[in-house]
Structure 1
Amino acid sequence: MELQKLSNGNHHHDFAPLEEGVPPEEETFLPHKSDGTKKTQFTDFEGKTSFGMSAFNLSNAIMGSGILGLSYAMSNTGIVFFLILLTCIALLSSYSIHLLLSSAGVVGIRAYEQLGFRAFGHPGKIVAAVVITLHNIGAMSSYLFIVKYELPLVIQAFLGQTSPSDDWFMNGNYLIVIVSAGIILPLALMKHLGYLGYTSGFSLMCMVFFLSSVIYKRFKITCPLEAFANSSANSTIPDDMCEPKLFTINQETAYTIPILAFAFVCHPEVLPIYTELRNPTKRRMQNIGNLSILAMFIMYLLTGIFGYLTFYGYTEAELLHMYSKVDPLDTLILCVRLAVLVAVTLTVPVVLFPIRRAILQLLFPEKPFHWVRHVAIAVCLLFTVNLLVILCPTIRDIFGIIGATTAPSLIFILPSLFYIRIVPIEQEPMTSRPKIQAAIFCSLGFVFMAMSLTFIGLDWTSGEKRSIGH
């Protein structure tokens, strides 16, 4: 086992003191079996989730609504540059998971917030919990925004209507409340995250169907000069609009780099999934992380390439809208819209679990599991997210700021700082290569954050709207 009890005397002197009156083992270590004398905490149970289900859950946590904009990102970088960026970010994300698991293995903690406490005391715990909460609320909101705007179009198509009606069931605000109460809430009330492996697997199958449709359409649609030229105010069409580009540098190229980085954010879910893994070891969980990242890398790459090679220079930020411009009554694209809606809906409960865990770690760290508290937090979170999606029509910019600050923190900054602070100096001095690498990795996170905020600020000042998403 990679986890070590603090009572062995090897490392307890290297860390900040625990809360007063709480023994080290009760505060941080997650035993596999209770000895009958220690109070059960909400994380104290033997992991029962299989390797495959854990990989489904983590893959589902990685996959986000940003997959719809990857072809647009490729149009602003070129095929080769996109491949280089995507490969680098996937490798960096895997390294970040390694840092998290190494830190967790040293002190026997499988909670992101408790790693923050061990590294920096209460301030570290609070910062980690707040960052996770803000980031995942933003992710949940982006998914429900897709439901709000896409579900009415699907219903309209099934009813055979050519234009939207004023019926209540065509109102996106009513629909997200119904979906949240009828589908998302029951799944979010499950006690353990591992049980969502089945819905995560189905969600991933929906996105595989989306990818298959994108590949199929590539060979059915020629470069849509007429469809887009007729709707364009410009009568002159550049000759290279239907030619693939290997390298492209334009005003939006640097803006797409952080978007690609956000596409691999899954780090709040790594430790909860690790907690519920059957026979948990660092190597086993790292393999799950590597497999999930590889699967999403392949999906992202194929989606980006085949979507881009369908529309070339005409590619816009939302890929599904492009197909609708070519043929608004396309049955296959209607089914794809429905599959994407199912996928993002089933992803919301997976994203909700780390928020609830962060709140429990922050407000009720010593309390045993209680159903009332478990249900109440889920209901309050869904109510808050629904309210944000209903009342804030420009919430994309708000969560763009949140994503620009929290995503680099979760991928680069916090895992590096945890590793540097938690791994004992006796084991790895500050001048050792692993800690120097972690310090450089942390610096890279601040660079990403500065770039993201800069380009979002340029968006606001220029009045242009670009797509930001996980």
Structure 2
Amino acid sequence: MAQQQINEEGTTLISPNKAARESKGSMISASFNFINSIIGSGIIGLPYAMNQAGLPFGLLLLVVVAFITDYSIVLLIKGGNLSGSNSYQSLVRNTFGFPGFLILSALQFLYPFIAMISYNITVGDTLTKVFQRIPGVGPDHIFAERHFVILLSTFLFTLPISLYRNIERLGKVSFLSMVLTLIILIIAVIRAATLGPQIIPTENAWVFAKWNTIQAVGVMSFAFICHHNSFLIYTSLEQPTLSNWSQVTHISVGSALIISAAFAVAGYSTFTGYTQGDIFENYCRDDNLATFGRFCFGFSIITTFPLECFVTREVVSNIICCRDLSKAEHVALTMLIVAVCTAISLAYDCLGVILELNGALSATPLIFIIPSACFLKLSPGRWYQGENRLPVMLIITGLFVMITGLTMTVIYPQDCSHGVEMFYCADSNITGTVPPE
């Protein structure tokens, strides 16, 4: 990723000297980078989104969210071309002034910050079951305690890696993260074929739609958001034209949709109404294949956490300092961010609610509302004419999803469990008897 600098207005820009030295990439390489930026940890919650919305309607919603993501990414670059901007921040600053820049900065802070909390929760859920497969480590062992595992991973891995000042040192993990995600998808498909038939589906498992649809949209938005990387990948094209960018976007979002839909169907069809926010909480503790999947996902999360910390730290430094941080300030701010995230993840541990909250509160406005609002502000036509109609619809839809999703998440929080074996994992129940009351 290109190094960044802060201009006199506090807007993050790509360093021109660094950008000039970077080699331009082909559309294929740009597409791969974009797919990698979309397919990440958010995919783990998509089976839960199907449980919230109903599988048929959930898949339809997934396609709609992917279409909106595709459209808003192209809209973002259109707005950048109209305003002469080369980043999401500068686009909003040029369009809505400093108040708009502050709102965007708050959202860009909240999204990775809440994501880091969800990463810690996931690490605590997944790695505890991995450690329990080690001989001598039982349910009462300290390595089976999720709070200890979260603290251990923080001190040994996420905090030290997050202290890097240059994000380029973290770039090598992106390909590995993509490979691990594909391995997890393969495991989910295998278990859908082998474990799924042994678990009797819950009542109304295959209904067309369920009442928690809006919350499901929040989870899907969290999984698909990639707008913060759009300008960087666009400028990496050998020929950065809107036509080429549209092709890259269509290929990338389409490929991500296929992978996401496959994982969502495989995960939900295995566990139906029992599907949890972290799908690996549904697999049995003695399932060696699922344990390997937990290890892959846990490792992927640990290597992804510092990337989100980098973004969070940059947003804070841009707003508060408007300059490069000193070494002491860099260390202090990093430790503060990691400490707060860790404290929250130790105190609250329901991943499904965290995914819904992040999707509704930050991902939805970043995908639905802000790109559309910037384009409408810059477009010469009236809001109800021509190509301005769809952005208006997206703003209205985004506001509805955001407000309704937040309300439902607060009023109707979903139940979750951690480290508890599901009833079907017992030998006597694996054929699908009704769980005990």
Distance of 2:174 and 2:192 partners within structure 1: 27
Mapped pair 1:71 → 2:47 = yes
Q: Deviations over 1:297-342 (max 9, x none)?
A: 1121111222233334554444223221xxx312111101101101
Q: Please report the TM-score for the alignment, with normalisation by the length of structure 1.
A: 0.75
Equivalent position of 1:387 in the other structure: 343
Q: Please report the TM-score for the alignment, with normalisation by the length of structure 2.
A: 0.80
Mapped pair 1:359 → 2:333 = no
Q: Once the 2 structures are TM-superposed, how far is the Cα of residue 188 of structure 1 from its aligned partner?
A: 3.8
Following superposition of structure 1 onto structure 2, how do residues 83-98 of structure 1 map, counting pairs within 5 Å? Answer: 83-98=59-74
Equivalent position of 1:236 in the other structure: none
Q: 1:223 pairs with 197, 206, 209, which one?
A: 197
**SS in structure 1 of the partner of residue 194 of structure 2:** coil
Letter in 2 for 1:382: V
Q: Once the 2 structures are TM-superposed, how far is the Cα of residue 411 of structure 1 from its aligned partner?
A: 0.7
Equivalent position of 1:456 in the other structure: 409
Equivalent position of 1:410 in the other structure: 366
Distance of 2:328 and 2:230 partners within structure 1: 26
Q: Once the 2 structures are TM-superposed, how far is the Cα of residue 206 of structure 1 from its aligned partner?
A: 1.0
Q: Once the 2 structures are TM-superposed, how far is the Cα of residue 75 of structure 1 from its aligned partner?
A: 4.2
Distance of 1:161 and 1:46 partners within structure 2: 51
Unaligned runs of 5+ in 2: 1-6, 418-437
Mapped pair 1:338 → 2:291 = no
Distance of 2:320 and 2:113 partners within structure 1: 18
Mapped pair 1:152 → 2:152 = no
Equivalent position of 2:86 in the other structure: 110
How many pairs align? 409
Q: Once the 2 structures are TM-superposed, how far is the Cα of residue 465 of structure 1 from its aligned partner?
A: 2.5
Q: Deviations over 1:334-392 (max 9, x none)?
A: 10110110122222223233323323432344x36866655554343223212322344
Equivalent position of 1:251 in the other structure: 211
Q: 1:301 pairs with 229, 238, 261, which one?
A: 261
In the alignment, is the contact (CA less than 8 A) between 2:126 and 2:280 conserved in 1?
Answer: no
Q: 1:465 pairs with 386, 396, 415, which one?
A: 415
Q: 2:184 pairs with 204, 210, 221, which one?
A: 210
Q: Deviations over 1:424-450 (max 9, x none)?
A: x3xx55454233322221111101112
Q: Once the 2 structures are TM-superposed, how far is the Cα of residue 138 of structure 1 from its aligned partner?
A: 0.4
Distance of 2:149 and 2:137 partners within structure 1: 18
Equivalent position of 1:184 in the other structure: 158
Equivalent position of 1:443 in the other structure: 396
Q: CA RMSD in A?
A: 3.5
Structure 1 pair 254/388, CA: closer, same or farther in 2 (3 Å)? closer
Letter in 1 for 2:369: I
Equivalent position of 1:14 in the other structure: none
Structure 1 pair 194/281, CA: closer, same or farther in 2 (3 Å)? farther
Q: Once the 2 structures are TM-superposed, how far is the Cα of residue 212 of structure 1 from its aligned partner?
A: 0.5
Equivalent position of 1:99 in the other structure: 75
Letter in 1 for 2:297: V
Unaligned runs of 5+ in 1: 1-18, 34-42, 229-239
Q: Once the 2 structures are TM-superposed, how far is the Cα of residue 224 of structure 1 from its aligned partner?
A: 2.7
Letter in 1 for 2:336: C
In the alignment, is the contact (CA less than 8 A) between 1:242 and 1:311 conserved in 2?
Answer: no
Q: Deviations over 1:110-145 (max 9, x none)?
A: 332322221221111111101110121001110111
Structure 1 pair 347/280, CA: closer, same or farther in 2 (3 Å)? farther
Structure 1 pair 418/92, CA: closer, same or farther in 2 (3 Å)? same
**SS in structure 1 of the partner of residue 150 of structure 2:** helix
Q: 2:307 pairs with 323, 334, 350, which one?
A: 350
Relative to structure 2, which stretch is displaced further, 287-296 or 337-346?
A: 287-296
Distance of 1:400 and 1:315 partners within structure 2: 15
Percent identity over the alignment? 23
In the alignment, is the contact (CA less than 8 A) between 1:54 and 1:197 conserved in 2?
Answer: no
Q: Deviations over 1:49-85 (max 9, x none)?
A: 8566765554444335443333343345444323321
Letter in 2 for 1:104: G
In the alignment, is the contact (CA less than 8 A) between 2:53 and 2:211 conserved in 1?
Answer: no
Distance of 2:374 and 2:121 partners within structure 1: 34
Equivalent position of 1:16 in the other structure: none
Q: Once the 2 structures are TM-superposed, how far is the Cα of residue 264 of structure 1 from its aligned partner?
A: 1.0
Letter in 2 for 1:421: K
Q: Deviations over 1:145-174 (max 9, x none)?
A: 111232222112123434231x3x544334
Q: Which has the larger radius of gyration?
A: 1
Mapped pair 1:264 → 2:221 = no
Distance of 1:196 and 1:301 partners within structure 2: 28
